[in-house]
Copies of this chain bind each other. A is one copy, B any other.
């Protein structure tokens, strides 16, 4: 969402995202690498380097992104400790259907919609505050 701010010419630095969201720099590097491998962002190095979206945000469906980032997350852990019902459990299939309904619902949203009013304006204000604090 922060990268969808089109009112800026330079890509967003990891330092800026870390500062805005109090997120550890090292964690953000991993997130950016992951999103880069999915083809969603492009990172450039150097003095005016940073991260930018690689895809039109109207074409990024939230369900798709979540599926790719979290798709291997299970709602219940059948393996540890090994569940006595494992392999003969109808609940597992029901929960998988529920998860699929969640992803389908999230696919109705695209990234561009997530920065409609008031979110987009808030992001622009945050960016201006960051620039002002730096100078």
* Chain A residues proximal to chain B, CB less than 8 Å: 1, 20-22, 62-63, 81, 83-85, 88-91, 94-95, 97-106, 109, 113-116, 118-119, 121-123, 126
Given A1-B91, A119-B85, A104–B106 Cβ distance below 8 Å? no
Q: Provide the residues of chain B in CB contact with A84, threshold 8 Å.
A: 20-21, 122, 126
SS class of chain A's interface: helix, strand, loop or mixed? helix
User: Nearest chain B CB to A115's CB is how many angstroms away?
Assistant: 7
- The residue in A1, A20, A91, A97 that gathers the most chain B C-beta atoms within 10 A of its C-beta is A91
Contact B22 A88 (CB under 8 A): no
**Are A89 and B119 closer than 8 Å at their CB atoms?**
yes
